[in-house]
């Protein structure tokens, strides 16, 4: 085994902390080697965030022995009542399958500091793990009151509402996502599909067009465009619908023609030429 360059490893771990990258397998492997070769004792005060980082990575990869070693070291330095240490305790309980106890730890953290982002995220993750969807939605709503610009949280809340067929609330989440990331075609597509489900075909049509503006010949958006245009033609709302219906069919035929002559493409082309 080659000699460990501890300075380079410490720098690499620090870079992951600065960029918020987990890289759990890599961090756990490097951390275990630093501990095994007794390199961490040379780092002075900067050792503590490294121990915390290694502990979280160890939880992710299921190495409880490594995680417990790091927590034991952190216990010698920090008060067990500190919020950061309590969060690690909660993660340890999660890793051990003691989900109720872990939930109680996160709840106690949020009683002391309701804006604690990491504890909030763990609390929400646990609600989902325990299939407490209503509590998860309430916790996400409260979290987003503080961290409005967290698009991943809005997307998670949207998925939860969709799982409950609460399409109006899911649409609201999509609208917030579009305000945060107007250039993300996936969010426009999701909003279009929700609007289609709500029978708001004109707005769904506009959103499918926006997807195609951002991502040319997106097959799912082309099918959505075709369906919306068909619905509008049935309701005699023909402004632009006829042209968009023809455009969707033409582009789908071109897309499948470009994919070759396999059986699927032939079936699709035959169907599109008939509708």
* Tokens linked to 238: 């023909």
Structure tokens at 239: 């402004």
CA–CA separation, 87 and 102 (whole Å): 9
Give the predicted TM-score (pTM) of the model. 0.80
93-145 per-position pLDDT tens digit: 998 889 999 999 999 999 999 889 989 999 999 999 889 999 999 999 999 99
How far is it, in rounded angstroms, from Cα 76 to Cα 265? 65
Q: What is the mean pLDDT of the chain?
A: 87
255 — pLDDT class (breaks 50, 70, 90)? confident
Task: Identify the CA nearest to 149 among candidates 195, 190, 185, 117.
Answer: 117
pLDDT value of residue 43: 77
The pLDDT of residue 244: 85
Backbone angles phi, psi at 184, to 5 degrees: -90, 110
How far is C-alpha 216 from the chain's CA centre? 25
Sorting pLDDT into bands at 50, 70 and 90, what band is 65? very high
Inter-axis angle of helices 83-95 and 64-75, to 10 degrees?
160
Give the pLDDT mean for 198-220: 93
Helix (H) / strand (E) element for 140: namely helix 133-146
Q: Would you say 109 and 122 are in contact if contact means Cβ atoms under 8 Å apart?
A: no
CA distances from 106 to 113, 117, 172 (A): 10, 11, 28
Q: CATH number of the domain at 148-275, out of 3.90.1150.10, 3.40.718.10, 1.25.40.10, 3.40.50.880?
A: 1.25.40.10
The span from the CA of 157 to the CA of 151, in Å, is 10
Confidence of residue 269 (pLDDT cuts 50, 70, 90): low
Lowest mean pLDDT, pick from 147-151, 154-158, 159-163, 240-244:
240-244
Which residues have C-beta within 8 Å of that of residue 111, sequence separation ≥ 6? Answer: none
Q: What is the mean pLDDT of residues 239-255?
A: 82
Q: Measured between alpha carbons, how far is 213 from 207 in angstroms, rounded to an integer?
A: 10
Domain ranges of the chain: 148-275
Residue in this structure with the two tokens 């790091």, named with its chain if needed: 70
* Separation between Cα atoms, residue 114 and residue 234, nearest integer Å: 52
> Which among 165, 124, 168 is positioned nearest to 144, based on CA atoms?
124
pLDDT above 70 covers what percent of the chain? Answer: 91
Three-class DSSP category at 236? coil
Nearest partner of 248 among 211, 217, 210, 271, judged by Cα: 217
């Amino acid at each position: 085994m080659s000699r460990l360059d501890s300075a380079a490893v410490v720098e690499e771990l620090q870079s992951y902390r600065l960029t918020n990258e987990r890289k759990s397998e890599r961090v756990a492997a490097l951390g275990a080697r630093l501990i095994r070769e007794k390199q961490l004792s040379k780092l002075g005060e900067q050792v503590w965030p490294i121990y915390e980082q290694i502990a979280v990575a160890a939880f992710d990869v299921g190495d409880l022995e490594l995680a417990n070693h790091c927590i034991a070291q952190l216990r010698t330095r920090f008060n067990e009542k500190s919020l950061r240490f309590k969060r690690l305790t909660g993660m340890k309980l999660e890793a051990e399958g003691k989900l109720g106890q872990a939930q109680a730890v996160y709840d106690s953290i949020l009683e002391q500091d309701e804006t604690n982002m990491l504890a909030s995220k763990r609390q929400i993750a646990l609600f989902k793990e325990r299939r407490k969807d209503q509590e998860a939605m309430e916790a996400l709503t409260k979290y987003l009151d503080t961290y409005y610009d967290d698009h991943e949280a809005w997307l998670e809340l949207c998925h939860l509402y969709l799982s409950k067929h609460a399409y109006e609330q899911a649409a609201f989440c999509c609208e917030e996502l579009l305000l945060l990331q107007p250039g993300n075609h996936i969010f426009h597509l999701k909003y279009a599909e929700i609007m289609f489900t709500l029978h708001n075909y004109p707005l769904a049509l506009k959103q499918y067009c926006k997807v195609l503006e951002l991502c040319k010949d997106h097959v799912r958006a082309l099918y959505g465009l075709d369906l919306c245009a068909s619905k509008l033609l049935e309701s005699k709302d023909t402004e632009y619908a006829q042209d968009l219906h023809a455009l969707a069919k033409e582009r789908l035929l071109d897309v499948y023609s470009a994919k070759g002559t396999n059986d699927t493409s032939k079936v699709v082309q035959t169907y599109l030429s008939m509708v």
